[in-house]
Amino acid sequence: MTAQIIEGKNFAVALRERVAEHTAYLKQQHNITPGLAVVLVGEDPASEVYVRSKGKQTIEAGMNSYQHKLAVDTSETELLALIDRLNTDPDVHGILVQLPLPDHIDEALVINAIDPAKDVDGFHISNAGLLATGQQAMVPCTPLGCLMMLREYCGNLSGLNALVIGRSNIVGKPMAQLLLRESCTVTVAHSRTRNLPELVGNADIVVAAVGRPLFVEGKWIKPGATVIDVGINRIENSDGTTRLVGDVDFDAAKEIAGAITPVPGGVGPMTIACLLANTVTACCRASALPVPQGLTV
C-alpha cells in the first residue's frame, strides 16, 4: 500500500481563495478591510523571508498589510509601546510579532501584551486558556491547519486514537486540545517517551511535531494511519548538499500509512493561509459579524 499524499500547498491555495472571497464581501457589504500588522525586530534572514511572504499573501488576499521592521537593539519598552498603539488601531485586526526576538526582550511579556482578540498567532495566555476549556479562542495557525487537513482526509474524527508527538505551546499542546474537541482519544508523547513505537503503532492519527529529523520510523506506523508531519529540519547529504526533511521517515512511512503530508509542501503552506484566515476571523468578531464557515474551529 502507498499512502495518499496530503498536498498542503493545494489545500492552502483553496483556503486563501476563501479568505479572499470573504475579504471582498466585507469590503463590498460592510466597507471593512481586514488588516494584519506584522512586527519584525532585528535582521534574522529566515524571519525576513517569512515576513515578506506573509505580507505578499496578505495583499494578494485583498487585505491591508502593515509591516513594522525594528532595529535589533530596539528596547523592550519601545516594542511594547508599538504593540499598545496597534492594539488601539481600529484598522488593525490582527497583530503578529515574529519570533524569535532578540535575547534582551522577554517573548512571553511581548506575546501577552497583544490584545487577545487581535492575537492571530493564538499564543496569548488567554487564548491558550480559552482553547483548553473549549471556549471561543484564536487558534494557533499550524495546529489549525493540521486540523483542517485531518478533517478533509479522515472525515469524522470522533473516537479515533490520536497521538501528538511534541509538547510545545505553539503546536503540540494546542493540537492535542483541538483533537480532544473533535472527540478523539488523545495521547501526548515527546522525545523522552519510553514506549513511543508502541504508541505510534496504535494511533489512527499521528501528528509529529518533535523537531528531530526522521525521528518517527516508518515501521512504527499503524497500517492505514493518517500522518501529519509538522517537522521541518535541514540535514546534510553524503555529497555535502543539504535537504529538508520532516520528523517522520517519509519514504518508509508512505508505504504503510493511509495518508501522509510531505516535507516540504505539507503543513508549511497551511500556516500562513491560516494566519490570513485568523485575521478575517478577528475582523468579523471585532465587527460583530458572523465568521465564515471553514476559517476556524
DSSP symbols for 249-264: -HHHHTTT-SEE--TT
122: left (phi over 0), alpha (psi -120 to 50) or beta: left
Query: Position 260: which residue type?
Result: I
Percentage of residues of the chain with pLDDT beyond 90:
93
How far is it, in rounded angstroms, from Cα 52 to Cα 178? 29
Burial 100-113 (b: 16+ CB within 10 A, else e): ebbeebeeeebbeb
pLDDT of 163 reads: 98
Residue 182 has pLDDT above 80, yes or no: yes
Pairwise CA distance, residues 134 & 41, whole Å: 33
Residue 22: what are its φ and ψ, rounded to 5°? -75, -30
CB 199 within 8 A of CB 189: yes
| Cα angle, residue 4 at apex, residues 17 and 295 outer, rounded to 5° | 25
Q: Confidence band (pLDDT; 50, 70, 90) for 116?
A: very high
What is residue 44's predicted lDDT score, i.e. its pLDDT? 84
Catalytic positions, written as ranges? 54, 98, 121
Give tens-digit pLDDT for 247-288. Answer: 999 999 999 999 999 999 999 999 999 999 999 999 999 999
Contact 256, 197 (CB under 8 A): no
| pTM score | 0.95
Helix, strand or coil, per DSSP, at residue 185: strand
Residue 134 gets the label, from left (phi > 0), alpha (psi -120 to 50) or beta, of left
49 — pLDDT class (breaks 50, 70, 90)? confident
The pLDDT value given to residue 1: 64
267, 279 Cβ separation under 8 angstroms: no
- Report residue 56's pLDDT band, with 50, 70 and 90 as the boundaries: very high
Q: Which residues of 52-81 are buried (b: 16+ CB within 10 A; e: fewer)?
A: eebeebbeebbbbbbebeeeeebebeebee
In this predicted model, which residue has the larger pLDDT, 190 or 1? 190
